[in-house]
Amino acid sequence: MKRLLFISLLVHIMLFPLMSKGSFAQVDEGGKPSLSIVIDDLGNHMNGTEDILNLQAKLTVAIMPFMPSTTADANAAFEKGHEVIVHMPMEPKVGKKSWLGPGAITADLSDEEIRKRVEDAIENVPHAVGMNHHMGSKITEDKRIMQIVLEVCAERGLYYLDSKTTGKSVIPEIAEELHLPYLENNLFFDDTYSVSHIEKQTQRLENRLKTENRLIAIGHVGVSGPMMVTVLNRHIEHLKEKAHIIPLSEQIEGSEWLR
């Protein structure tokens, strides 16, 4: 499957050599905007996982590699029609390396070890067609490291979602150079762990859908998982009325080549 994705990406690059964040899928004039909802942190029997996967909308789920329920969560998500991406653990500016879990990308690794860890992570998450990062505020500012990460994504036919955990990300520059399909997060639902905050962020999202054609919003399972389930259950039908809720890959022009 990953070999087919790689071949399809090569075909796509030949046909669409400038594909990038700026090359979005077409939206019909006067039609509804597109919204992708991404749920991070699956893979470790996290709170809210089952209920999130049962939501009646096509989500993109970011799954941590090398964790106890990595394979089970990826298979369950795929079977329910959700899109799967690798949630690659990367060192942050603040925090302990031990919080990242196994196979994390840290600044002290050699080029060879970085490449190996990214390749192994992709192999470890079934059905993955893209990647984003877990934490990663330090690593996503590092050109040496992100060059290797994004080169592997390009070789394996994966797109990249910049979660925007730092304002100094080097991902856009490198992805453009590689002609790698990439997208950028617009909003976190649960950057504060409370139902009231997630409600406010959801309302903010709904307001932005009135004026913007394409949006990406990220939430999480785990501590905020049950809160995310509560709020999304309240709002998902309303969001579906306001926008086409689609997997991330469908935000990319020519995404049919990735499937």
CB 214 within 8 A of CB 26: no
Task: Please give the angle made by the CA atoms of 220, 58 and 251, to the nearest 5 degrees.
Answer: 95
CB 240 within 8 A of CB 139: no
Note down the domain range covering 138: 2-17+32-250
Residues 134, 46: Cα–Cα separation, whole Å: 15
CA-wise closest residue to 93 among 187, 167, 188, 173: 167
Flag whether 259 is in a domain.
no
Confidence (pLDDT) at 80: 98
Confidence (pLDDT) at 98: 76
Flag whether 255 is in a domain.
no
The pTM assigned to this predicted structure is 0.89
Burial, 8: exposed, middle or buried (Cβ in 10 Å; 0-12, 13-18, 19+)? middle
Q: What is the CATH number of the domain that holds 238?
A: 3.20.20.370
Confidence (pLDDT) at 258: 53
Flag whether 112 is in a domain.
yes
Neighbours of 50 (CB within 10 A): 14
Confidence (pLDDT) at 13: 40
Flag whether 258 is in a domain.
no
pLDDT truncated to tens, each residue of the chain (259 aa)? 444 444 444 434 433 333 445 455 545 445 899 999 999 999 999 999 999 999 999 999 999 999 999 999 999 999 999 999 999 999 999 987 778 999 999 999 999 999 999 999 999 999 999 999 999 999 999 999 999 999 999 999 999 999 999 999 999 999 999 999 999 999 999 999 999 999 999 999 999 999 999 999 999 999 999 999 999 999 999 999 999 999 999 999 765 545 4
Flag whether 257 is in a domain.
no
Flag whether 230 is in a domain.
yes
What secondary structure letter does DSSP report for 155?
H
Domain count, the chain: 1
Flag whether 199 is in a domain.
yes
Confidence (pLDDT) at 257: 46
Flag whether 236 is in a domain.
yes
* Range 112-116, long-range pairs (CB < 8 A, 24+ positions): 114/145, 114/148, 114/149, 115/148, 115/151, 115/152
Confidence (pLDDT) at 15: 35
